[in-house]
Amino acid sequence: MADIKIDKIAKTFGNARALDEITLDIADGEFIALLGPSGCGKTTLLRIIAGLETRSAGRVIIGGRDISDTPTRARGLAMVFQNYAVFPHMTVYENVAFGLRMQKADEARIKAQVARAAELLHIEPYLERYPAKLSGGQRQRVAVARALAVEPPVLLMDEPLSNLDALLRLEMRAELKAVLREAGTTTIYVTHDQTEAMGLADRIAVMHGGRIVQIDKPTAVYSRPKTTFVGGFVGSPPMNFLPVTAASGAIDLDGLSLAAPRPEGNLLAGIRAEDFALSHSGEGLAFDVMVAEPLGSHTLLTGRSHGQMLRVVAPPNGDYPADTRLGLKPDPNRIVWMDAASGEALRQETAA
């Protein structure tokens, strides 16, 4: 009922194209993350959906209703802003009740819904306080509670966690996911943090240069990136891209032969850091360790292979002094083959 159709939305600032005919269908109750580096147009797109920014072309349809020219207040959505935008001259209670008061809800309903939202976000003890007396995390909760209190069919979030410290962010991420699942709200969540997007979203739309480069489930975006940009942006560490040359249907990696997706030509082999098997006897792709970072759950090795920088995940207990030579065996089923010239993934059927 609150599905969102974004139909060829474009935005130009003077000669600069910020959004290039974005088309996106979001199902009712779905959680979509718009992920991309700063300047990719994700916030602009969100603000166009909210009606806070004018569009140059295209339509936004929510629940079958074309709201492209509807003023923000009548679009039936709620929003959480990056800097929270909690009203400083109102108590937390009045902040959370604001949307309901504007809808002219009766006092009993306001009370009930504020209480519910406050309970959901654990802000009951602060209801009578002013926002100036709250910490960043608490203000953030107030902003989310204010948005949820109106029980919006659509919730827009603009980097809501980016102003929190790392630990709080992790905690809020988990809570947010639980809260929104319970509310069943269609959510569009803008972020530049790929971990956030991976952790929260049903689907991730990766944006780059005003276009959606790939839209898919988090796992698919992670393991089957459509372009080198997606592979490099999603996941930490970024995907390795190994330039290889196919000759008569096979690729030779230091004696390791892989079936090539194409008989001839230059390719990039996209391989995640954890998709290598390590061989201390030096079998497979030669890899010289430069730096080893013990990260607790695993050790991250950074090194070179034929002059190409690679990142490899190794077991946590090993000792990898610099200049150790290791052999790498990539998992052939998890390699993403890409065209060396265009940086776009080849169709995966051929690789399988």
Partner 1 sequence: MNALRRTVYFTGIVALCAWVLVPIYFIALGAFGGRIGVFRWPKSILPTDTSLAAMQLFLQVEGVGQAMVNSIIAACITMALSIALGAPAGYALARFTFPGQNAYRLLILLTRAFPLAILALPLTVAFIRIGLYDTAFGVALIHTALALPFAALVSASLFQAIPRELEEAAWVFGCTRLQAFLKVVLPLALPGIAATAIFAFVISWNEVFAASVLTVRNRTLTAYLLTVLAESPLHFRFAGGFLLIVPSIVFIFAVRKYLFAMWGIANR
10 Å CB burial of residue 332 (0-12, 13-18, 19+) is middle
Interatomic CA distance for residues 104 and 204, integer angstroms: 36
- Cβ-based nearer residue to partner 1, 73 or 347: 73
Find the angle CA(330)-CA(333)-CA(339) to the nearest 5 degrees.
80
Contact 36, 43 (CB under 8 A): no
Cα radius of gyration (the chain): 24
Contact 40, 210 (CB under 8 A): yes
In the complex, least distance from residue 186 CB atom to partner 1, rounded to whole angstroms: 15
Biggest CA–CA distance in the chain, Å, is: 76
Bridge partners (DSSP) of residue 302 are 291, 311
172-209: string of b/e by CB count within 10 Å (b at 16+)? bbeebeebbeebebbbbbbbbbbebbbebbebbbbbbe
In the complex, least distance from residue 298 CB atom to partner 1, rounded to whole angstroms: 40
- Cβ-based nearer residue to partner 1, 102 or 112: 102
In the complex, least distance from residue 188 CB atom to partner 1, rounded to whole angstroms: 13
- Cβ-based nearer residue to partner 1, 144 or 253: 144
- Cβ-based nearer residue to partner 1, 187 or 305: 187
Q: Provide the angle, in degrees to the nearest 10, between the axes of the packed helices 136-149 and 92-102.
A: 20
- Cβ-based nearer residue to partner 1, 52 or 346: 52
In the complex, least distance from residue 264 CB atom to partner 1, rounded to whole angstroms: 55
- Cβ-based nearer residue to partner 1, 188 or 260: 188
In the complex, least distance from residue 56 CB atom to partner 1, rounded to whole angstroms: 17
- Cβ-based nearer residue to partner 1, 123 or 260: 123
Bridge partners (DSSP) of residue 336 are 270
In the complex, least distance from residue 99 CB atom to partner 1, rounded to whole angstroms: 4
Q: Which residues, including other chains, have CB under 8 Å from residue 121's CB and lie 6 or more apart?
A: 141, 142, 144, 145, 148, 175, 179
How far are the Cα atoms of 48, 79, 98, 100, 147 from residue 87, in angstroms, in the given order?
Answer: 23, 14, 9, 15, 13
In the complex, least distance from residue 120 CB atom to partner 1, rounded to whole angstroms: 18
- Cβ-based nearer residue to partner 1, 46 or 230: 46
In the complex, least distance from residue 291 CB atom to partner 1, rounded to whole angstroms: 42
- For tokens 């400083």, the residue is 88
Q: Catalog residues that contact partner 1 under the rule CB under 8 A.
A: 50-52, 71-73, 77-79, 81-83, 85, 87-89, 98-99, 102-103, 146, 150
